[in-house]
Amino acid sequence: MRDKIDFSLVGALLRKQRQERRYVFSKGHFDVLGFLLQIALIATFAAFFVVFFGRFIDIYLTIKTHSLPDAPQRLYELLTIAYMLIIVFMTVSGMTAITREMFLADDLKLFSAMPVGAKTLFVAKLISIYRSQFVYSFVALLAVNLTAAIATGQGAWFYCMTVLMIFLLPVITIAFASILALPFYAIRRFLQSRFVLMFIVVTLLTAGAFVLYSFVLGAVKDLLLGDDIRYFFNEGVMNGIRTACQYFFPANWIASFVLKHELVWSITGIVLVTAACAVVAMLIIRSILTRVLQARISGDENFMYPEQDVTPLGSSFTALLRKEFVQIFRTPSYMFSYFSIAVLMPLMVYFCIDVGSSLVKTLVGVNVDLELALFLTLLFSALTNVFCATNISREGPMFYSVKALPVSCERVFLSKIFFCMIVSIISQVISAVVLGATGYVSWGVAAFIFAIGTVFSFAQICFATRYDFNHARFSSEEDGEIKESGSTVSTIIVLGMLFAFLIGGVVLIARILLALRLDEAASFGYLTYIIVSVITVVVAVLSFVYLIANIKKKYYEFSGGGLM
């Protein structure tokens, strides 16, 4: 029998995916708070982007080369670079989409045993990958092109071609992604069992992203402070940009095309690239699909660990701590949120205080480094400590197994809190050392910030652990990994940020206002220490009381989590 594409079956497969996606929005599973938080974050990011990108376009278009302004050339360069970044971003997202749909999706195993033709499956998978890429293309191209169009007064052609490119860009990026998908998956599988290496790679990559972020933050500061950013774009830099843009294929063709420059050349380029990409994408994705269906390249690598022996008798508390570490360190998403983020938190504090301190000094003329350091430490602690929001849920069915062991509930909870505190304290120590060493605050103040950060983390960890226990939703995933955590994570984020603002934000604003109104603001410095200490300690005590309230009874009566 010939393998033909069965479009009704394609529809059924896509419907299945849609239904699975809708499940998160169903009653009892829909995280309203998380959804609103996400919308708010996207809206803030979009607003931030539009405002600063618009302002940057204004400045960039006036940059002269050979003492002559060349706005059309500048716009072409700007759009080429922007499209290049979008292509890179979408290639990465495409690789994850292909990995998700081809290698990690459970449905392939099931479909390989069903009367579903490979071609039908291939079309369904391709549509699914295209759909996810289309969303990125839509958001990114619309944001860039609309801002550019408004800032430079573009005509109908620009808008129409933007719409066309929104549909074409996913095809191009899927092809690039499909070429890289196999090596990407091979690296992923290689790192899967080499946890230390994976930790180093992931942490370095994230650190790189933060450095990039700090660079953007610095540029934003320069824009805000009105520093002449044009000095950065001297003749040498502009020559470099012009040369680079000549080689940024196919981003430069897309820029030429939407700007109606060298139409024949750019259209030919785009048509050829799109056609070639479509063929490449289809061929490679089909070969991946065939390989997956035939060889079932999924599951864990058969990695042999060094021979181990029985260990000497240790306490049950140590065993629980070790278990916490192993479970977290060997689950990539948890390893990232616990360890990588904790290690990188001081970096975020440093970048932000670097920008914030000079910004406040220039704009308001006040030195509020202590308050700013406190505020940033609390804010980033709140975001970093979110890992503890799944302290109970991530146990999955093993929570019940631990419950059946002869270990008291106090010991179980203490091991979790203790482990989270170790991670948090390490992060706080590095952060305080960075603040002290860079001279933003004195060593004494750094010690105070460390103490406040630690107490604040303790409060958040206690609260999050109990909140998660009260609202536990165990994952049915084999390793208990949380894919969809209900409202717990978003609640902990919102509350953490709220308290960070309440404690750090209030003293920061109060100090600025005092400094603006009174000349002797410095003499009110002690107020910061008193307010922050009192509120933080009160919050910590309340959180601890919340954690232990009736815990023993609740623990032994626990039958929640949705697994039993």
364 contacts: CB under 8 Å, gap ≥ 6: 512, 515, 516
Smallest separation (angstroms) from another protein to the CB of 473: 15
Kindly state the number of chain residues that form the binding site for another protein, as judged by CB under 8 A.
46
Residue 391 or 431 having the CB closest to another protein:
391
**Site membership for another protein, residue 418 (CB under 8 A):** no
**Site membership for another protein, residue 401 (CB under 8 A):** yes
Residue 407 or 506 having the CB closest to another protein:
407
Cα 504 to Cα 520: distance, rounded to the nearest angstrom? 21
**Site membership for another protein, residue 414 (CB under 8 A):** no
Cα torsion 478, 480, 481, 484: sign: positive
Contact 235, 65 (CB under 8 A): yes
- Among residues 243, 246, 308, 550, the one that binds another protein under rule CB under 8 A: 308
Residue 379 or 472 having the CB closest to another protein:
472
Q: Which of residues 533-562 bind another protein (CB under 8 A)?
A: 556-559
DSSP per position, 482-519: -S--TTHHHHHHHHHHHHHIIIIIHHHHHHHHHHHH-T
- Among residues 403, 414, 422, 425, the one that binds another protein under rule CB under 8 A: 403
Q: What totals of helices (H) and strands (E) does the chain contain, helices first? A: 21, 2
Size of the chain, expressed as the number of residues it contains? 564
**Site membership for another protein, residue 305 (CB under 8 A):** yes
- Among residues 56, 138, 400, 529, the one that binds another protein under rule CB under 8 A: 400
Residue 236 or 312 having the CB closest to another protein:
312
Smallest separation (angstroms) from another protein to the CB of 476: 10
Q: Which of residues 71-90 bind another protein (CB under 8 A)?
A: none
Contact 230, 59 (CB under 8 A): yes
Dihedral angle of Cα 530, 531, 536, 541, to the nearest 10 degrees: 80
**Site membership for another protein, residue 196 (CB under 8 A):** no
Residue 117 or 397 having the CB closest to another protein:
397
Cα 280 to Cα 272: distance, rounded to the nearest angstrom? 12
Nearest to 103 by CA among 380, 352, 291, 310: 291
**Site membership for another protein, residue 393 (CB under 8 A):** no
**Site membership for another protein, residue 478 (CB under 8 A):** yes
38-40-42 Cα angle (round to 5): 70
Residue 196 or 304 having the CB closest to another protein:
304
Residue 242 or 322 having the CB closest to another protein:
322
- Among residues 28, 226, 236, 306, the one that binds another protein under rule CB under 8 A: 306
370 contacts: CB under 8 Å, gap ≥ 6: 441, 445, 449, 525, 528
Contact 385, 499 (CB under 8 A): no
Q: Which of residues 275-304 bind another protein (CB under 8 A)?
A: 299-304
**Site membership for another protein, residue 28 (CB under 8 A):** no
**Site membership for another protein, residue 404 (CB under 8 A):** yes
- Among residues 179, 407, 451, 537, the one that binds another protein under rule CB under 8 A: 407
- Burial of 490 by CB count in 10 Å (0-12 exposed, 13-18 middle, 19+ buried)? buried
Cα 334 to Cα 344: distance, rounded to the nearest angstrom? 15
41-42-44 Cα angle (round to 5): 65
Q: Is 134 left (phi over 0), alpha (psi -120 to 50) or beta?
A: alpha
**Site membership for another protein, residue 188 (CB under 8 A):** no
Residue 123 or 320 having the CB closest to another protein:
320
Residue 2 or 27 having the CB closest to another protein:
27
**Site membership for another protein, residue 497 (CB under 8 A):** no
Cα torsion 196, 202, 205, 211: sign: negative
Q: Which of residues 312-351 bind another protein (CB under 8 A)?
A: 312-316, 318-320, 322-323, 326-327, 330-331
**Site membership for another protein, residue 307 (CB under 8 A):** yes
69 forms bridges with which residues in the sheet? 64
Residue 113 or 310 having the CB closest to another protein:
310
**Site membership for another protein, residue 470 (CB under 8 A):** no
Tokens of 122: 């291939």
Instruction: Name the residues that contact another protein, by CB under 8 A.
Output: 193, 299-316, 318-320, 322-323, 326-327, 330-331, 396-398, 400-401, 403-408, 478-479, 556-559, 564
